[in-house]
Protein backbone atom coordinates (compact mmCIF):
# COMPACT_ATOMS: atom_id res chain seq x y z
CA UNK A 1 0.00 0.00 0.00
CA UNK A 2 1.30 3.54 -0.61
CA UNK A 3 3.04 5.22 2.29
CA UNK A 4 0.92 7.85 3.96
CA UNK A 5 -2.37 6.49 2.62
CA UNK A 6 -4.12 6.68 5.98
CA UNK A 7 -7.56 5.88 4.61
CA UNK A 8 -6.34 2.69 2.98
CA UNK A 9 -4.48 1.71 6.13
CA UNK A 10 -7.57 2.04 8.30
CA UNK A 11 -9.73 0.17 5.82
CA UNK A 12 -7.22 -2.63 5.62
CA UNK A 13 -7.13 -3.19 9.35
CA UNK A 14 -10.89 -2.89 9.63
CA UNK A 15 -11.10 -5.78 7.21
CA UNK A 16 -8.57 -7.76 9.22
CA UNK A 17 -10.56 -7.18 12.42
CA UNK A 18 -13.79 -8.33 10.77
CA UNK A 19 -12.02 -11.38 9.42
CA UNK A 20 -10.62 -12.20 12.86
CA UNK A 21 -14.10 -11.87 14.32
CA UNK A 22 -15.61 -14.18 11.71
CA UNK A 23 -12.93 -16.82 12.22
CA UNK A 24 -13.25 -16.55 16.00
CA UNK A 25 -17.03 -16.96 16.11
CA UNK A 26 -17.02 -20.76 16.20
CA UNK A 27 -14.83 -20.64 19.29
CA UNK A 28 -16.94 -17.95 20.93
CA UNK A 29 -20.25 -19.67 20.32
CA UNK A 30 -18.98 -23.05 21.52
CA UNK A 31 -17.28 -21.61 24.61
CA UNK A 32 -18.54 -23.13 27.90
CA UNK A 33 -19.26 -19.64 29.25
CA UNK A 34 -21.64 -19.02 26.34
CA UNK A 35 -23.28 -22.43 26.66
CA UNK A 36 -23.86 -21.88 30.38
CA UNK A 37 -25.51 -18.55 29.57
CA UNK A 38 -28.00 -20.18 27.22
CA UNK A 39 -26.16 -19.00 24.11
CA UNK A 40 -25.75 -15.38 25.18
CA UNK A 41 -22.39 -14.07 23.99
CA UNK A 42 -20.45 -10.82 23.95
CA UNK A 43 -16.99 -10.47 22.47
CA UNK A 44 -14.75 -7.73 21.08
CA UNK A 45 -12.97 -8.57 17.82
CA UNK A 46 -11.31 -5.14 17.88
CA UNK A 47 -10.13 -5.58 21.45
CA UNK A 48 -8.68 -9.01 20.70
CA UNK A 49 -6.98 -7.75 17.54
CA UNK A 50 -5.40 -4.80 19.34
CA UNK A 51 -4.14 -6.95 22.22
CA UNK A 52 -2.70 -9.71 20.07
CA UNK A 53 -1.24 -7.26 17.54
CA UNK A 54 0.55 -5.38 20.32
CA UNK A 55 2.15 -8.62 21.52
CA UNK A 56 2.85 -9.61 17.91
CA UNK A 57 5.10 -6.55 17.57
CA UNK A 58 7.70 -8.52 19.50
CA UNK A 59 7.25 -11.83 17.67
CA UNK A 60 9.77 -13.39 15.33
CA UNK A 61 10.08 -16.53 13.20
CA UNK A 62 7.26 -19.03 13.08
CA UNK A 63 5.52 -17.25 15.96
CA UNK A 64 5.31 -14.05 13.89
CA UNK A 65 4.20 -15.96 10.79
CA UNK A 66 1.27 -17.57 12.60
CA UNK A 67 0.17 -14.31 14.19
CA UNK A 68 0.45 -12.50 10.85
CA UNK A 69 -1.80 -15.11 9.26
CA UNK A 70 -4.39 -14.43 11.96
CA UNK A 71 -4.03 -10.66 12.36
CA UNK A 72 -2.76 -9.58 8.96
CA UNK A 73 0.42 -8.16 10.49
CA UNK A 74 3.16 -9.08 12.98
CA UNK A 75 6.74 -8.16 13.83
CA UNK A 76 7.97 -4.57 13.42
CA UNK A 77 5.21 -3.80 10.89
CA UNK A 78 2.58 -4.43 13.56
CA UNK A 79 3.52 -1.39 15.67
CA UNK A 80 2.31 1.31 13.26
CA UNK A 81 -0.77 -0.80 12.56
CA UNK A 82 -1.65 -0.95 16.25
CA UNK A 83 -1.07 2.78 16.68
CA UNK A 84 -3.12 3.70 13.59
CA UNK A 85 -6.02 1.43 14.49
CA UNK A 86 -6.13 2.63 18.10
CA UNK A 87 -6.03 6.27 17.01
CA UNK A 88 -8.82 5.77 14.50
CA UNK A 89 -11.00 3.93 17.00
CA UNK A 90 -10.27 6.54 19.67
CA UNK A 91 -11.63 9.26 17.38
CA UNK A 92 -15.12 7.79 17.80
CA UNK A 93 -17.15 9.94 20.18
CA UNK A 94 -17.64 8.51 23.69
CA UNK A 95 -15.25 5.62 23.02
CA UNK A 96 -12.15 5.19 25.20
CA UNK A 97 -9.24 3.08 23.95
CA UNK A 98 -6.30 2.21 26.19
CA UNK A 99 -3.55 -0.38 26.38
CA UNK A 100 -1.30 -1.02 29.35
CA UNK A 101 1.66 -3.35 29.73
CA UNK A 102 3.17 -4.40 33.05
CA UNK A 103 6.38 -6.39 33.06
CA UNK A 104 8.63 -8.13 35.54
CA UNK A 105 11.26 -8.65 32.85
CA UNK A 106 13.30 -6.07 30.92
CA UNK A 107 11.72 -5.13 27.60
CA UNK A 108 13.57 -4.39 24.38
CA UNK A 109 14.08 -0.65 23.89
CA UNK A 110 12.95 -0.93 20.28
CA UNK A 111 9.71 -2.60 21.37
CA UNK A 112 8.95 0.18 23.85
CA UNK A 113 9.76 2.89 21.34
CA UNK A 114 7.59 1.32 18.63
CA UNK A 115 4.41 1.58 20.74
CA UNK A 116 4.25 5.15 22.08
CA UNK A 117 0.53 4.84 22.81
CA UNK A 118 1.00 2.06 25.36
CA UNK A 119 1.50 2.75 29.05
CA UNK A 120 4.34 0.68 30.53
CA UNK A 121 4.81 -0.16 34.18
CA UNK A 122 6.32 -2.72 36.55
CA UNK A 123 4.39 -5.88 37.31
CA UNK A 124 4.32 -5.21 41.02
CA UNK A 125 0.79 -6.00 42.15
CA UNK A 126 -2.77 -6.71 41.08
CA UNK A 127 -4.46 -3.80 42.87
CA UNK A 128 -2.89 -1.08 40.71
CA UNK A 129 -3.80 -2.92 37.52
CA UNK A 130 -7.40 -3.45 38.62
CA UNK A 131 -7.60 0.27 39.41
CA UNK A 132 -6.34 1.03 35.89
CA UNK A 133 -8.99 -1.28 34.40
CA UNK A 134 -11.78 0.33 36.43
CA UNK A 135 -10.64 3.82 35.45
CA UNK A 136 -10.17 2.97 31.76
CA UNK A 137 -13.63 1.39 31.50
CA UNK A 138 -15.37 4.11 33.50
CA UNK A 139 -16.27 1.55 36.15
CA UNK A 140 -18.03 -0.82 33.74
CA UNK A 141 -15.42 -3.51 34.46
CA UNK A 142 -13.68 -3.23 37.81
CA UNK A 143 -10.90 -5.81 37.60
CA UNK A 144 -8.82 -7.93 35.27
CA UNK A 145 -10.63 -10.99 33.91
CA UNK A 146 -7.51 -13.13 34.46
CA UNK A 147 -5.53 -14.28 37.47
CA UNK A 148 -1.96 -12.99 37.74
CA UNK A 149 0.07 -15.90 39.08
CA UNK A 150 3.56 -15.41 40.54
CA UNK A 151 4.94 -17.06 37.39
CA UNK A 152 3.57 -14.31 35.12
CA UNK A 153 6.39 -12.20 33.71
CA UNK A 154 4.37 -9.88 31.46
CA UNK A 155 0.76 -8.74 31.31
CA UNK A 156 -0.83 -6.72 28.52
CA UNK A 157 -4.38 -5.41 28.82
CA UNK A 158 -6.39 -3.64 26.15
CA UNK A 159 -9.54 -1.72 27.03
CA UNK A 160 -12.38 -0.50 24.86
CA UNK A 161 -15.17 1.33 26.66
CA UNK A 162 -18.21 3.15 25.29
CA UNK A 163 -20.77 5.22 27.19
CA UNK A 164 -22.93 6.88 24.56
CA UNK A 165 -26.41 8.34 24.32
CA UNK A 166 -28.65 7.73 21.34
CA UNK A 167 -28.79 10.49 18.77
CA UNK A 168 -32.56 9.99 18.95
CA UNK A 169 -33.47 8.39 22.29
CA UNK A 170 -36.29 5.92 22.73
CA UNK A 171 -39.31 7.38 24.51
CA UNK A 172 -39.77 5.40 27.76
CA UNK A 173 -43.54 5.94 27.44
CA UNK A 174 -43.49 3.65 24.40
CA UNK A 175 -41.72 0.82 26.22
CA UNK A 176 -44.14 -1.99 26.93
CA UNK A 177 -44.06 -5.76 27.48
CA UNK A 178 -43.86 -8.02 24.47
CA UNK A 179 -43.09 -11.71 24.17
CA UNK A 180 -39.51 -12.70 23.32
CA UNK A 181 -38.94 -16.25 22.04
CA UNK A 182 -35.46 -17.53 22.97
CA UNK A 183 -33.52 -20.34 21.33
CA UNK A 184 -35.14 -22.74 23.81
CA UNK A 185 -38.48 -21.89 22.25
CA UNK A 186 -40.43 -20.84 25.34
CA UNK A 187 -41.71 -17.23 24.96
CA UNK A 188 -41.57 -14.80 27.86
CA UNK A 189 -42.61 -11.13 28.11
CA UNK A 190 -39.79 -8.54 28.25
CA UNK A 191 -39.71 -4.71 28.22
CA UNK A 192 -39.60 -3.79 24.53
CA UNK A 193 -38.61 -0.29 23.35
CA UNK A 194 -40.32 1.17 20.27
CA UNK A 195 -39.54 3.86 17.73
CA UNK A 196 -39.69 4.46 13.99
CA UNK A 197 -36.74 5.16 11.73
CA UNK A 198 -36.10 5.81 8.08
CA UNK A 199 -35.78 2.83 5.80
CA UNK A 200 -32.33 4.12 4.82
CA UNK A 201 -31.14 3.10 8.29
CA UNK A 202 -31.89 -0.56 7.62
CA UNK A 203 -30.92 -3.13 5.01
CA UNK A 204 -30.68 -6.86 4.44
CA UNK A 205 -27.63 -9.07 4.16
CA UNK A 206 -28.00 -12.32 2.24
CA UNK A 207 -27.41 -15.55 4.18
CA UNK A 208 -27.73 -19.15 3.09
CA UNK A 209 -30.79 -19.66 5.33
CA UNK A 210 -32.45 -16.42 4.27
CA UNK A 211 -31.88 -12.66 4.49
CA UNK A 212 -30.69 -11.04 7.72
CA UNK A 213 -32.25 -7.67 8.52
CA UNK A 214 -29.80 -5.10 9.87
CA UNK A 215 -30.77 -1.84 11.61
CA UNK A 216 -28.26 0.91 12.35
CA UNK A 217 -28.80 3.48 15.09
CA UNK A 218 -26.44 6.41 15.57
CA UNK A 219 -25.29 7.65 18.95
CA UNK A 220 -24.92 11.35 19.69
CA UNK A 221 -21.84 13.27 18.59
CA UNK A 222 -19.99 14.55 15.55
CA UNK A 223 -18.24 11.19 15.05
CA UNK A 224 -20.79 8.91 16.71
CA UNK A 225 -20.62 5.22 17.35
CA UNK A 226 -23.03 3.34 15.09
CA UNK A 227 -24.91 0.51 16.78
CA UNK A 228 -26.27 -2.25 14.58
CA UNK A 229 -28.82 -4.92 15.37
CA UNK A 230 -29.19 -7.95 13.09
CA UNK A 231 -32.22 -10.25 12.96
CA UNK A 232 -31.98 -13.51 11.05
CA UNK A 233 -34.80 -15.77 9.89
CA UNK A 234 -36.29 -18.17 12.43
CA UNK A 235 -33.92 -21.02 13.19
CA UNK A 236 -30.86 -19.29 11.76
CA UNK A 237 -27.58 -20.18 13.51
CA UNK A 238 -25.97 -17.27 15.38
CA UNK A 239 -22.65 -17.04 13.49
CA UNK A 240 -23.97 -15.70 10.13
CA UNK A 241 -26.30 -13.32 11.94
CA UNK A 242 -23.44 -11.88 14.00
CA UNK A 243 -21.28 -11.62 10.89
CA UNK A 244 -24.06 -9.79 9.06
CA UNK A 245 -24.14 -7.18 11.82
CA UNK A 246 -20.55 -6.13 11.15
CA UNK A 247 -20.51 -6.71 7.38
CA UNK A 248 -19.79 -3.56 5.32
CA UNK A 249 -22.93 -1.58 4.71
CA UNK A 250 -22.22 -1.58 0.98
CA UNK A 251 -22.76 -5.36 1.04
CA UNK A 252 -26.39 -4.83 2.08
CA UNK A 253 -29.53 -4.59 -0.04
CA UNK A 254 -31.79 -1.55 0.55
CA UNK A 255 -35.26 -2.14 1.92
CA UNK A 256 -38.29 -1.63 -0.29
CA UNK A 257 -40.15 0.23 2.46
CA UNK A 258 -40.59 3.85 3.50
CA UNK A 259 -39.81 3.45 7.18
CA UNK A 260 -39.16 0.85 9.86
CA UNK A 261 -41.21 0.36 13.03
CA UNK A 262 -38.55 -0.91 15.40
CA UNK A 263 -39.21 -2.91 18.55
CA UNK A 264 -36.04 -3.60 20.53
CA UNK A 265 -35.72 -5.13 23.99
CA UNK A 266 -33.70 -3.56 26.75
CA UNK A 267 -30.84 -5.95 27.44
CA UNK A 268 -27.56 -6.38 29.25
CA UNK A 269 -25.03 -9.10 28.44
CA UNK A 270 -21.66 -10.01 29.94
CA UNK A 271 -19.27 -12.77 28.84
CA UNK A 272 -15.81 -13.88 29.95
CA UNK A 273 -13.99 -15.93 27.31
CA UNK A 274 -10.89 -18.10 27.53
CA UNK A 275 -9.50 -16.94 24.20
CA UNK A 276 -6.26 -18.93 24.48
CA UNK A 277 -8.31 -22.10 24.16
CA UNK A 278 -9.60 -20.84 20.80
CA UNK A 279 -6.26 -19.77 19.28
CA UNK A 280 -5.03 -23.19 18.06
CA UNK A 281 -8.17 -23.51 15.94
CA UNK A 282 -7.24 -20.12 14.45
CA UNK A 283 -3.77 -21.34 13.49
CA UNK A 284 -1.80 -19.97 16.44
CA UNK A 285 0.36 -22.66 18.04
CA UNK A 286 3.94 -21.44 18.40
CA UNK A 287 3.07 -18.39 20.52
CA UNK A 288 1.50 -20.70 23.13
CA UNK A 289 4.25 -23.32 23.03
CA UNK A 290 6.59 -23.19 26.01
CA UNK A 291 9.37 -24.63 23.86
CA UNK A 292 8.74 -22.97 20.48
CA UNK A 293 7.47 -19.41 21.11
CA UNK A 294 9.69 -16.65 19.75
CA UNK A 295 9.15 -13.19 21.22
CA UNK A 296 12.84 -12.27 21.06
CA UNK A 297 12.03 -8.73 19.90
CA UNK A 298 9.83 -8.11 22.94
CA UNK A 299 11.89 -9.01 26.01
CA UNK A 300 15.32 -10.15 27.08
CA UNK A 301 14.12 -13.46 28.49
CA UNK A 302 12.28 -16.14 26.49
CA UNK A 303 8.51 -15.73 26.91
CA UNK A 304 5.40 -17.50 25.68
CA UNK A 305 1.71 -16.67 25.94
CA UNK A 306 0.06 -18.43 28.88
CA UNK A 307 -3.46 -16.95 28.87
CA UNK A 308 -5.61 -14.70 26.72
CA UNK A 309 -8.87 -13.82 28.46
CA UNK A 310 -11.52 -11.32 27.39
CA UNK A 311 -14.40 -9.95 29.46
CA UNK A 312 -17.01 -7.98 27.52
CA UNK A 313 -20.34 -6.41 28.30
CA UNK A 314 -23.07 -4.56 26.42
CA UNK A 315 -26.03 -2.75 27.94
CA UNK A 316 -28.79 -1.14 25.83
CA UNK A 317 -31.70 0.90 27.15
CA UNK A 318 -33.86 3.88 26.19
CA UNK A 319 -31.07 6.42 26.81
CA UNK A 320 -28.16 4.79 25.03
CA UNK A 321 -25.47 2.16 25.00
CA UNK A 322 -22.77 1.13 27.45
CA UNK A 323 -20.18 -1.38 26.34
CA UNK A 324 -16.74 -2.41 27.49
CA UNK A 325 -14.14 -5.07 26.85
CA UNK A 326 -10.92 -5.90 28.63
CA UNK A 327 -8.60 -8.26 26.77
CA UNK A 328 -5.72 -9.59 28.87
CA UNK A 329 -2.64 -11.37 27.59
CA UNK A 330 -0.33 -12.94 30.19
CA UNK A 331 3.12 -14.23 29.31
CA UNK A 332 5.40 -16.52 31.31
CA UNK A 333 8.99 -17.63 31.05
CA UNK A 334 9.37 -20.50 28.63
CA UNK A 335 10.20 -23.96 29.91
CA UNK A 336 13.49 -23.59 28.14
CA UNK A 337 16.03 -26.35 28.48
CA UNK A 338 19.19 -26.76 26.38
CA UNK A 339 18.96 -29.49 23.79
CA UNK A 340 20.65 -32.55 25.24
CA UNK A 341 23.00 -34.58 23.09
CA UNK A 342 21.63 -38.04 22.58
CA UNK A 343 24.57 -40.30 23.44
CA UNK A 344 24.55 -44.05 22.92
CA UNK A 345 26.93 -45.93 25.19
CA UNK A 346 28.19 -48.65 22.87
CA UNK A 347 30.90 -50.90 24.32
CA UNK A 348 32.11 -53.88 22.32
CA UNK A 349 32.50 -55.90 25.50
CA UNK A 350 30.93 -59.11 24.24
CA UNK A 351 31.27 -61.17 21.04
CA UNK A 352 31.09 -59.01 17.92
CA UNK A 353 31.51 -59.19 14.19
CA UNK A 354 33.86 -57.32 11.90
CA UNK A 355 33.79 -56.79 8.17
CA UNK A 356 36.48 -55.33 5.93
CA UNK A 357 34.82 -53.73 2.94
CA UNK A 358 36.06 -52.46 -0.39
CA UNK A 359 36.28 -48.75 -1.17
CA UNK A 360 32.69 -48.67 -2.39
CA UNK A 361 31.49 -50.09 0.90
CA UNK A 362 29.53 -52.73 -0.92
CA UNK A 363 31.87 -55.74 -1.10
CA UNK A 364 32.92 -57.52 2.06
CA UNK A 365 36.61 -58.27 1.57
CA UNK A 366 36.98 -59.94 4.89
CA UNK A 367 34.56 -60.87 7.62
CA UNK A 368 35.28 -61.90 11.17
CA UNK A 369 33.55 -62.61 14.41
CA UNK A 370 35.25 -62.16 17.75
CA UNK A 371 33.83 -64.68 20.15
CA UNK A 372 36.60 -65.19 22.69
CA UNK A 373 38.34 -62.61 24.82
CA UNK A 374 40.54 -60.62 22.42
CA UNK A 375 44.28 -61.35 22.82
CA UNK A 376 43.66 -64.38 25.01
Final residue of a structural domain among 248, 265, 282: 265
* Shared domain check, 94 and 198: no
Question: What local confidence, expressed as pLDDT, does residue 209 receive?
Answer: 72
Across the chain, mean pLDDT equals 85
Write the DSSP string, 134-167.
Answer: HHHTTTSS-S-SS---TTEEEEEEEEEEEEEEBS
Question: Has residue 267 got a pLDDT over 80?
Answer: yes
Residue 358 confidence (pLDDT): 36
98 lies in a domain?
A: yes
Are 57 and 75 contacting, i.e. CB atoms less than 8 angstroms apart? yes
For residues 261 and 315, membership in a common domain is answered with: no
Cα 274-297-67 angle, rounded to 5 deg: 40
45 and 98: one domain?
A: yes
Encode pLDDT of 106-150 as tens digits. 999 999 999 999 999 999 888 999 999 999 999 999 999 999 999
Q: What is the pLDDT of residues 102-114, one digit of tens each?
A: 999 999 999 999 9
Q: Are residues 100 and 84 in the same domain?
A: yes
362 within some domain: no
| Residue 203 shares a structural domain with residue 56 | no
Residue 139 and residue 23 share a domain: yes
Q: What is the pLDDT of residues 64-79, one digit of tens each?
A: 999 999 999 999 999 9
Asked if residues 158 and 98 have their Cβ atoms less than 8 Å apart, the reply is: yes
Helices (H), the chain: 6-29, 32-36, 45-56, 61-71, 78-90, 109-114, 126-136, 238-246
* Residues 152 and 274 occupy one common structural domain: yes
The tens digit of pLDDT for each residue in 32-71 reads 998 888 888 899 999 999 999 999 999 999 999 999 999 9
Q: How far apart are alpha carbons 14 and 120 in whole angstroms?
A: 26
- Verify that 228 and 305 share a domain, yes or no: no
Residue 341 maps to a domain: no
The predicted model scores a pTM of: 0.86
Do 200 and 116 have their domain in common? no
Tell me, yes or no, whether 342 lies in a domain. no
How confident is the model at residue 213, as a pLDDT? 85
pLDDT at 330 over 90: yes
Amino acid sequence: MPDGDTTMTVREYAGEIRELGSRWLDGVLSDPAVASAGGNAVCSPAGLWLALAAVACGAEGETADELADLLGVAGPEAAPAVSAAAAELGATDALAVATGLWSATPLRDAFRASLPGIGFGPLAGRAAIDAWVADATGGLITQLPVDVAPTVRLLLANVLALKARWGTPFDPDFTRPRDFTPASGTPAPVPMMHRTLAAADAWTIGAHLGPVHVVELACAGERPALIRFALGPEGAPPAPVMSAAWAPRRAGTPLEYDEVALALPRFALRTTLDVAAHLPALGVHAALDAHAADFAALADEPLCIEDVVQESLVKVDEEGVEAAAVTSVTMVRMSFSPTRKRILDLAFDRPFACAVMDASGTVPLFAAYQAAVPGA
